[in-house]
Amino acid sequence: MQVSFYLTLPLRGLSLISMNKIVSIFKDMVIKLLKNRSDIGAGTRGSDLGIDALEIAAINQNDDFFHRHLFVDVKTHNETIYQKNTNSFAKRIEHVAEQCNRVCDAVSTALLQNYFPIVLSGDHSSALGTISGIKKAHPNKKLGVIWIDAHADMHSPYTSPSGNIHGMPLAAALGLDHAHIQVNKISDDTISHWKDLKSIGTNGPKLTPDNLVYFGLRDFELAEKQVIEEASISNYTVEQLRENGLQKTLAAIIKKFEDVDELYISFDVDSMDCDQISYGTGTPVKSGFLPDEINQILAQLLSTQKVVCLEIAEINPLLDNKGNKMAETAFQILSNFEQQLIVL
C-alpha cells in the first residue's frame, strides 16, 4: 500500500537530506495494524473472531479505518485447539510460544520500520509477543507497561488454576516463575516451554515490576495478589480513579513514568463494565470502566509522546448478549485513539 501525503512547505532550496527528514517525520505517524486472530491461549472459543467483529463494526459505522491503514495478518495456530493437551497447567504452551514469536517478529519489524503498531489480538496471551517485540526492536530502552484489564494475568504454570496461558503473559514478561508459592506439579516439558516463553525476543525479563501499572484490576487469585503485593506493583482500581479524579491520578502516573523511554498500552475489553457495555468477552467482570474513561486514559497517556504501541484483546462476538456491542464500543475507542494519534 502506498502512503500519500501533501506538503504545504516551499520545496525550493530543500536538500535531499532535509526532504528525507520530512518524509521520516510523516512516516513516524503511520499506523500499521497487526491482526492476530489467535485464541489458543484462552479457555473459551471465539476471540479469534474479534477482529472480524471490529471490521464489521467499522463498516456499519461507515468508517474506512481498515481500508486506509497498512496491515499484516499474523499466521495463527488455531487448528491446535483440536489437539489433546499434554501440558495441563499450561495448555498448548508450545503453540502459544510459537504464536508469541510470530507477534514479536511482526511488532519489532513494524517498529524498526518506524510504524506505530496497533495489535488487534484474539486472546491476551499474545501480549507477551508484543512486549517481547518492543524489546527486540529497542533492547536498550526502558519500557513501561500500562495493563488495562479486569485480570492480573500474572499466573505461571506453577500457580495457574486453569492452565490457560492468557492468564500468564505478565509473569513471563517479568521473568517470574512463582516457584516459592507453587501449587501445581508441572512436567519437565512444561518447564522447558515456559523457559522458551520467557526468552522470546530477548533473553531475560522485558520489564521490571516498578514499570508496570494496572488499571481496573478487580478479579484475581490469591497467588497473583501475593506476587503483586511482594513486587509492589501499582494497581489503580476503577473506584480509586473515580474517587481521586481521573485526570489527577493520570498525572501522577505519568510522573511515575518520567524515566521510562517507551510506553506500551495493553487494553483488554473486559476492563469495561459488562453490564453497561456487553458480555462479549471471554471473562466478563462487573463494575468496570465506561468507554469515555478508557478514552480519557488513552488520550492522557498519548500526550506523553512515549507510547509506541497499543494492543486491544479479548473481544468475543460469540458471547455478546447485545449483538456486536462490545466490538462496536471497542472500535469507537480505537477510532478515537487514531484521531488523538494524528493530532500528535
> Are the C-beta atoms of residues 197 and 172 closer than 8 Å to each other?
yes
> Are the C-beta atoms of residues 227 and 176 closer than 8 Å to each other?
yes
Q: Looking at residue 202, what is its pLDDT?
A: 97
Please give the order of strands across the beta sheet that includes 262-268.
70-74, 31-36, 116-121, 307-313, 262-268, 143-148, 212-215, 234-236
- For helices 93-112 and 127-137, the axis angle rounded to 10 degrees is 40
Domain boundaries, the chain: 31-343
pLDDT of residue 8 exceeding 70, the answer is no
Q: Looking at residue 84, what is its pLDDT?
A: 83
- For helices 325-343 and 291-302, the axis angle rounded to 10 degrees is 20
Q: Please report where in the chains the cell 465506561 appears, as a residue.
A: 290
pLDDT of residue 243 exceeding 80, the answer is yes
Q: Which CATH number fits domain 31-343: 1.10.10.10, 3.40.800.10, 3.40.50.170, 1.20.1050.10?
A: 3.40.800.10
pLDDT of residue 10 exceeding 50, the answer is no
pTM of the model: 0.91
Average pLDDT estimate for 103-120: 98
> Are the C-beta atoms of residues 7 and 22 closer than 8 Å to each other?
yes
Give CA–CA dist 179/223, Å, rounded. 11
pLDDT-derived band at 275 (thresholds 50, 70, 90) equals: very high
> Are the C-beta atoms of residues 331 and 57 closer than 8 Å to each other?
yes
Name residue 58's amino acid.
Answer: A
pLDDT-derived band at 344 (thresholds 50, 70, 90) equals: low
Cell of 106: 511482526
Give strand pairing partners of 151.
219
pLDDT-derived band at 15 (thresholds 50, 70, 90) equals: very low
pLDDT of residue 17 exceeding 50, the answer is no
Other CB atoms within 10 A of residue 334 CB? 22
The pLDDT tens digits of the residues spanning 163-217 come to 999 999 999 999 999 999 999 999 999 999 999 999 999 999 999 999 999 999 9
Write out the DSSP string of 292-312.
HHHHHHHHHHHTTT-EEEEEE
The pLDDT tens digits of the residues spanning 117-159 come to 999 999 999 999 999 999 999 999 999 999 999 999 999 999 9
Q: Looking at residue 343, what is its pLDDT?
A: 73
pLDDT-derived band at 12 (thresholds 50, 70, 90) equals: very low
